[in-house]
Every structure is written in C-alpha cells, then in structure tokens.
C-alpha cells in the first residue's frame, strides 16, 4: 500500500471539485452572510482555498501554529483561483516526494503554547485536511445555493445538472 499515492489521488480529486466551487464565488457579494454568526462569503471562500495548503504543512512540518495567522486578502475570482492553484501545486509536490514513514510521525495544531490536538500525520491528512476541506466546501455550496449560483456536482449530479429549481435565490 502506498499512502502518499492514495492521498495524492484523493487530493487531486477533491481539489478538482473544490476549484469548481471556487470558480462560482460571486466576489461582488463577498460580504454576504446567511446568518449573523456565519463567516462572510469572501472569508469562507478564501478559507476553502487555503485549506489545500495544509497537506504540505502536514508533510513538511510537525505543527501548525495559528497564533500569528493573518488571512490573505483576496478580492476577485482570478486572485482566489491563482492562490488556490499555487497552494495545490505545493501540496502535490510535497506528496510526490514524501517518504511513507513520515505519515507515522506526530503533528500538532497549536495556538501559541496551547496544543489543540496531536495526531499522527496519516490521521491529520484524513481528519484535518480532507474532512475539513469537504466540510467547508459544503458550507460554500449552501452560500452559493442561497445566492442563486449553480452548485457544482461533487460525487454525483447536483440539482443544477438537471435544471431543477428547488428554491428562490436569497436576496
């Protein structure tokens, strides 16, 4: 079994779907929130794009410290897609050259001195990188749906593939 190859194939598949979601983000509505407690559309889209860098971080580092994290300022689809593509390229390169034994090493998420969790890198790739991406991409899909933007197919057709109107766009 070759974990790196399996993770690389899965990353490429999820990245292709994710890119289609990011292509549909209407940045002119970047301040949209479906609820007062929700992230804005712009911030959520940037977060979905930046999650793709976590594969590289997991492979090349032993921790990720969010204490000084500053989100990237992005104001257009072109910038968002370029950012996503550059991060994806780096993560793919990291997976292409990683030694299989690296996946057994520990990795921690921190906020300063506070350790939020520590897992082996194999679990981090699955639980933190992949599942986290899928979770936030699904949230982005809800935002797109509420704004009347076609939601791309993920693992099978979406309602938009059949031109089905389920709800009126949220204004």
* Angstrom distances, CA of residue 162 to CA of 17, 54, 105, 149, 158: 18, 34, 46, 14, 7
Q: Is 97 exposed, middle or buried (0-12, 13-18, 19+ CB in 10 A)?
A: exposed
Tens of pLDDT along 87-144?
999 999 999 999 999 999 999 999 999 999 999 999 999 998 999 999 999 999 999 9
CATH class of 3-162: mainly alpha
Question: What secondary structure letter does DSSP report for 103?
Answer: G
Convert 128-139 to b/e letters by CB count within 10 Å (16 or more is b).
bbbeebbebbeb
pTM above 0.85, yes or no: yes
CB 42 within 8 A of CB 49: no
Separation of alpha carbons 127 and 133, rounded Å:
10
Q: Is 68 exposed, middle or buried (0-12, 13-18, 19+ CB in 10 A)?
A: exposed
Question: Would you say residue 171 has pLDDT above 80?
Answer: no
């Amino acid at each position: 079994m070759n974990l790196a190859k399996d993770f690389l194939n899965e990353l490429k598949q999820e990245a292709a779907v994710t890119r289609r979601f990011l292509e549909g983000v209407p940045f002119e509505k970047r301040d949209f929130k479906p609820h007062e407690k929700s992230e804005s559309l712009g911030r959520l889209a940037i977060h979905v794009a930046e999650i793709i860098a976590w594969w590289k971080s997991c492979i090349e580092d032993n921790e990720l410290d969010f204490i000084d994290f500053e989100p990237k300022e992005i104001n257009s689809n072109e910038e968002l897609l370029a950012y996503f593509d550059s991060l994806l390229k780096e993560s793919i390169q990291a997976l292409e050259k990683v030694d299989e034994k690296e996946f057994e090493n520990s990795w921690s998420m921190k906020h300063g001195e506070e350790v939020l969790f520590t897992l082996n890198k194999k679990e981090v790739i699955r639980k933190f990188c992949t599942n986290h991406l899928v979770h936030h991409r699904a949230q982005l899909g809800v935002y797109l749906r509420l704004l009347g933007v076609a939601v791309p197919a993920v693992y099978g057709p979406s309602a938009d593939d059949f031109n089905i109107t389920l709800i009126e766009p949220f204004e």
